[in-house]
Amino acid sequence: ASSHHWLLAWAGLELNMLSILVIIMKPKHPRTAEAAIKYFLTQTIASTMMLFSSTINAIQTGQWNISMMTDKYACTMLLLAMTMKIGAAPIYFWLPEVMQGTTMLTALIIATWQKIAPISILFMTYNHLPPKIMMTIGILSTIIGGWGSINQAHLRKLMAYSSITNLGWTMVIFSSS
């Protein structure tokens, strides 16, 4: 997602998502199939929202450049799409379940590598995104991640809630800078 053109960034995110699906499904088990389906559905919805957001912005501005994000509705929709892609609050429900249904190595990849591209898009557009909503998402993610990790007996779910907490702090930093 290092491209400055919305369609190329979207295509990069889709390739990123499709590549991890194969890794999630590598062990043939019903839990991995369920995790892959949950991951696919949430990422597809988020990608559709991102594409819709960029289309609205392109209609308003006449440009497909990521740095030209000026329409406030498109910015809010992009923020929600990226929030869904990275698994931050309020759309975090899929992350602990998907990570619990995969192997430890795959859970580590989902918690780290898979978040780099959406966070880089957030970084490229954070000046245009609504800071109050970003701060709210950040605080909610921090609270939910901390609360969800209390008395957690499953290591992969604990990693997921830790990831949600760290995403919250990242969103707070984005909104305050």
pLDDT in tens, the chain (177 residues): 446 899 999 999 999 999 999 999 999 999 999 999 999 999 999 999 999 999 999 999 999 999 899 999 999 999 999 999 999 999 999 999 999 999 999 999 999 999 999 999 999 999 999 999 999 999 999 999 999 999 999 999 999 999 999 999 999 999 997
Q: What's the full length of the chain, in residues?
A: 177
Angle CA(39)–CA(41)–CA(112) in degrees, nearest 5?
30
CB 134 within 8 A of CB 126: yes
Instruction: Determine the residue type at 91.
Output: I
Lookup result for tokens 């597809």: 44
* Dist. CA 157–CA 93, nearest whole Å: 11
pLDDT of residue 1: 43
Coil, strand or helix: which one is 130? coil
- What pTM was estimated for this model as a whole? 0.93
Instruction: Report, in this order, helix, strand and coil percent for the chain, each rounded to 5.
Output: 80, 0, 20
Record the tokens describing residue 164, joined without a space. 């949600």
Record the tokens describing residue 167, joined without a space. 């995403």
pLDDT of residue 3: 64
Peptide bond into 90 cis (omega under 30): yes
